Amino acid sequence: MKPGIHPDYKEVKVVCACGDSFTTRSTRADIHLDICSKCHPFFTGKQKIHDAEGRVEKFKKKYARK
């Protein structure tokens, strides 16, 4: 590796809006998030499938194995 061309990576504290925090390495001084894996609906299992006009049921019925 060539000396002097790579950025300095330092340990930083990442803080989410939900209050969760963790440390990682970055070139930035501090990182603030709006949403993280602790509060995101996909990771918490609270995600809902928005069904408009029965499209999910129509898809399941059309491609169901007989």
CATH 3.40.190.10 holds for 1-44: no
**CA–CA distance, 63 with 66 (Å, rounded to integer):** 9
Specify whether the CB–CB gap between 35 and 19 falls below 8 A: no
Domain-by-domain residue ranges, the chain?
1-44
Per-residue pLDDT of the chain (66 residues), as tens digits, is 688 898 888 999 999 888 888 999 999 988 998 888 778 766 666 666 666 677 778 888 888 876
Beta partners for 21? 15
The C-alpha atoms of residue 15 and residue 19 are separated, in whole angstroms, by: 7
First vs last C-alpha separation in the chain:
59
Q: Facing residues of 49 across strands?
A: none
Both tokens assigned to 50: 């928005």
At 25 the pLDDT is 93
